[in-house]
Structure 1
Amino acid sequence: MNKQINIFFIIILFLSVIYTMRGFLDEQLRIIITIIYSIAIALVIFVIFMEKRNPTRTLTWVIVLVAFPGVGFIFYLIFGHAYRHQRSYTRKASEDEQAFESVTRHRSLMQANGQHLMPGREKFFHLALKLGSPISFNTETKVLADGRETFAHMLYALEQAEHHIHIEFYTIRHDDIGNQFKQILLKKARDGVEVRVLYDAVGSWQLPKAYKNELRQAGVDIKAFAPVRIPLLNHRVNYRNHRKIVVIDGQIGFTGGLNIGDEYVGKGKLFRHWRDSHLYMKGEAVRDLQLTFLRDWSFMTGETKMDPVYLSPEHRNSKIDEGGVQVIAGGPDQQWEVIKKLFFKMITNAKKSIWIASPYFIPDDDILSALKIAALSGIDVRLLMPSKPDKRVVFHASRSYYPELVDAGVVIYAYDHGFMHSKFMIVDQEIASLGSANMDMRSFHLNFEVNVFLYETSSVSRLVSDYVLDMEHSSVISAEALKKRPFRSRMMESFSRLLSPLL
């Protein structure tokens, strides 16, 4: 069936190319090509309807295909068709679920503890435990507030590795920071430490072969996640691994918003300061972060590494924290949109405040409505965003939501001290989520993401204090300023928002 569908799309792609060049054909042939192409596009639209997508995304793709014939279909091939992704990831989802169940058999005990952590939030914990891993009460965490602090902790921890190092990033760059990581990995591999590196094939497409070959020659096992050999016909191009994971000896872990690159320490071309948040972990919950990496590794390599040496319940020098820590991975392989569902429940479960930091804000209707209703209900809803773009279309699409949010009572802060790339949410100053997921449709529906949910830990307090400091470096976007923005800006925002389901 997949082969037949591929042939169908290849034929339409061929017709699209001819259709865009129809001006060079004689009139009769041009008419025939137009009729055939129109029928083919009608079939594609039928396929889109049958996929039972979100109505907004369905309508957007129909508009693109009709308004931009030829080019629109090519764009759909690259970013839109999802006819195979569910089938491709069914095996991964099934195997991941079995692996998590086998490693986390103490789930019932964790569930009981989680339900008594914060009275009144039983339904949230029930959802979190149903969609994610157990809650750990034996994990130390520390929030790292920028690239310099994060990389200093990571590089030091890598130097201490004795048995294995597991690294998974969306982007790895060949620059000063990238080379610092490379040198440590080379040294550790030569010393006999097992080193595995998983990078996203699209996010790290600029990573030179020489960089990877040097690691391989030293004994580092480095693989690309979802390589795209024929971009136009490969559904994987739109389903990227956006996770950021470092696990050292199964005892220490890192995850959050930073990739490996100089821009995260303020050496990029656009920004001298890069505000970001990452999380240091030590103890029990690192095992769930490790399991996420191992399942991704197995999916791409076929190697099963479910050995106790990687997943041992024993954790040396672990510290009993005052709250709970839960690692939750989300992705297109799962039945439910895990990250989105938990964000939605956090918002609707809020009693006093919802503070969100995200570099990209393109919510779907559910999240947008939940935020507006919360603000209209008198809950303190704040949104921290960059004041300057790194991706213009996404930036303008995000700003298109500002007027209705401000009208509902949401306070929006534009971060002026460089670029704001942190991705976290705090509810009632008791619960927080920090990780790789943006508050956007791509993170909700398309990307593989991983977030850590924190329940009454000291790290929640640290995120609150960081947010307060960020607000001091930000400007409040007023309703009056939004009304006065130029017509050109409004047009750009409207156009970008039209494309938001595709971004």
Structure 2
Amino acid sequence: MIAMYTIFNCIFLCSYWILIALVTFRVLVKRRAVPSSMAWLLVIYILPLIGVITYLLFGESNLGKQRSSRSRIAWLSTVRRIQILKTYKHIFSTEHSAIATSLFKLCEHRQGIGALKGNKIQLFRKTNDAIASLIKDIELAQHSIDMVFYIWESGGLVDHVIKKLIMAAKRGIQCRIILDSAGCTSFFNSSYPNIMRQAGVNVVEALHVNLLRIFLRRMDLRQHRKMVLIDEHIAYAGSMNMVDPQLFKKNIGVGQWIDIMVRIDGPATSVMSIIFSSDWEIETGQHVLLPLLLNTRVMAAHELIPTGHTIQIIPSGPGCPEGIIHQILLISLYEARKKLIITTPYLVPSDDLLHAICTAAQRGVEVHIIIPKHNDSLLVNWASRAFFSELLQAGVLIHQFQNGLLHVKSVLVDQQLSLIGTVNLDTRSLWLNFEITLVIDSQEFSNELEKTQQHYISHSRVIDPQIWANRPYWERVIERLFYFLSPLL
């Protein structure tokens, strides 16, 4: 009996250390930032079994075998669509501001497509106004309505959107909606999906959370885009989920969520149509025929405005050029010469981004970061604080927004270049999730964005470096603990 126990114990220990060695090898051979690798190794060796399981669940961007195969096929389709779009040379911009030139060149080289000109843009500062505009566009839709959202929660204003979508589907409009499984749990547990599907609205649950497949696909890889396309020539994008801010998460004590949304009418929507078609193919396996995506009728609908705005659409995540949004942010930060304003609900930047922000302030750029006083993630809230000291010492002004959860993700460079989209300054958005960013090269639009950001600043409290330096030591200990975990957040 003792011999059997000894043999079993030896087998268990050998298997255990072989597993540790294999996971360590995977961490070391995976190309990633050194701090991230070190954090994973420390977690694995300090909490061996928990660390190994955690790494297998969240350590690699595993899309799953079926979706990975679809992603490769979708990429080939995307390349063909881009080549077709590029034959319409009149919609591409050849003249940019000095700030945007290198950024647009990078996008053209890595994505295969440049910035598009002649776009009408409207900035919505309030969710109510954005949804009211969207409802009007749904009512006027003639051919198709496509949507992607991370969170969709019924109630209030959202019920009006659902009603209009059902009416559109019944009059023959093709309605396709991609909703993230984790972000829309309560919605998919309600009766609304079946009601919408029965009416002809094609609702797809993206990246389905399945506990039986947790080791086969990374469960926290999410569809984080917020995007609407109507008749392939009107589009919406920004930070807004499909929720009524007066009802959404009322009981967590952070106040109403504050978001912005951009409405685009023009050639840039063709790129967003390509992005949606790729997402749809990855999730459903259904290929969207090229003639339905890009044809003479659609391109003729794009009336180029001589004074219109130039926009670069940047998708990021699985199937997109690796690390492209990280590169775009770095270029934008280093191009700043006068003023830089950043809004983000989750501030857990990479070392490179932190260095770029601090360097901008140290070379005389006026740098503002606007974050919510409280957000919905305790872990991120404490991890963010670990970066404050270095930012404040460099001369960065950190504003804590007091009137709700500021969920806006934006960067404004020298009152000329605007970045708006779904990307938070954290590891998950920068390297993992499906995201979308609009880069708008327009002083006129940037002035509008700056007015919005200044409104946020007027309802914020700036952190005093002296007071911050004298905060309690127990807070510093917690901050450092979560800073250690920041590469994993």
TM-score normalised per structure 2: 0.91
Aligned twin of 1:5: none
Alignment of 1:83-482 (within 5 A): 88=69, 89-106=71-88, 113-114=93-94, 116-119=95-98, 121-132=100-111, 133-209=113-189, 210-229=191-210, 230-263=212-245, 268-269=250-251, 270-311=253-294, 312-315=298-301, 319-482=305-468
Q: Which residue of 2 aligns with 1:18?
A: none
Contact 1:437 1:450 in 2 (8 A): yes
- Look up the SS of the partner of 1:263 in the other structure: coil
Paired letter, 2:36: R
In structure 1, the residue corresponding to 2:87 is in which secondary structure?
coil
Moved more, 490-499 or 379-388: 490-499
The answer on whether the counterparts of 2:119 and 2:304 sit within 8 Å (CA) in structure 1 is yes
Q: What's the RMSD between the two structures over aligned residues?
A: 2.3
Aligned length: 476
- Is the Cα contact below 8 Å between 1:265 and 1:274 reproduced in 2? no
Deviates more, 1:137-146 or 1:422-431: 137-146
Distance (whole Å) between structure 2 residues aligned to residue 439 and residue 75 of structure 1: 23
Question: What letter is aligned with 2:194?
Answer: N
- Counterpart CA distance in 2 for 1:84 and 1:456 is 36
1:243 CA drift (Å):
0.5
Compare 230-239 and 437-446 and name the one that shifted more: 230-239
Find the aligned partners of 1:280 and 1:356 in 2 and give their Cα distance: 21
Alignment match, 2:38: 59
Q: More deviation in 477-486 or 355-364?
A: 477-486
1:259 maps to amino acid: N
**1:95 positional shift:** 3.5
- 1:154-185 CA deviation, whole Å, 9 max, x = no partner? 12211221211101111111333332222111
**Unpaired stretches in structure 1, ≥5 consecutive residues:** 1-24
Is the 8 Å Cα contact of residues 145 and 231 (structure 2) preserved in structure 1? yes
Deviates more, 1:278-287 or 1:477-486: 477-486
Deviation at 1:31, TM superposition (A): 5.4
CA contact (8 A) 2:138 2:164 kept: yes
Q: Structure 1 residues 62-71 or 26-35, which shifts more?
A: 26-35
1:476 maps to amino acid: V
Bigger mean CA offset, 180-189 vs 221-230:
221-230
Corresponding residue number in structure 2 for 1:6:
none
Give distance in 1, aligned partners of 2:64 and 2:369: 33
Q: Find the residue that maps to 1:304 and give its secondary structure.
A: coil
CA distance in 2, matches of 1:185, 1:482: 50
- Are the equivalent residues in 2 in contact too, given 1:197–1:222 (CA < 8 A)? yes
Q: Deviations over 1:55-110 (max 9, x none)?
A: 11111111111111222222222211346769654444343233223323346x66
Task: Give the letter for the 2:315 counterpart.
Answer: A
Q: Which letter does structure 2 place at the counterpart of 1:213?
A: N
With over 3 angstroms needed to count, the CA separation of the structure-2 counterparts of 1:85 and 1:130, relative to structure 1, is: farther
Q: Is the deviation greater in 156-165 or in 230-239?
A: 230-239
Equivalent positions of 1:68-83 (< 5 A) are 68-82=47-61
Distance of aligned partners of 1:74 and 1:435 in 2 relative to their CA distance in 1, 3 Å threshold: same
Aligned to 1:354, the other structure's residue is in SS state strand
Label 1:147 to 1:122 Cα distance change in 2 as closer, same or farther (>3 A).
closer
* Aligned partner of residue 262 in structure 1, secondary structure: coil
Please, which runs of 5 or more residues in structure 2 have no aligned partner?
Answer: none
- Contact 1:443–1:449 at 8 Å: present in 2 too? yes
Paired amino acid for 2:263: Y
Q: Give the TM-score normalised by structure 1.
A: 0.89
What secondary structure sits across from 1:154 in the alignment? helix
Residue 257 of structure 1: how far off its partner (Å): 0.3
Contact 1:322 1:458 in 2 (8 A): no
Q: Structure 1 residue 450: deviation in Å?
A: 0.7
The aligned residue for residue 29 of structure 2 is 50
Q: 1:317 to 1:103 in 2, by over 3 A?
A: closer
**Contact (CA 8 Å) 2:61, 2:218: kept in 1 or not?**
no
Does the 8 Å contact 1:258/1:264 carry over to 2?
no
Task: Give the AA of the match of 1:187.
Answer: M
Percent pairwise identity: 26
8 Å contact 1:246–1:255 — kept in the other structure?
A: yes
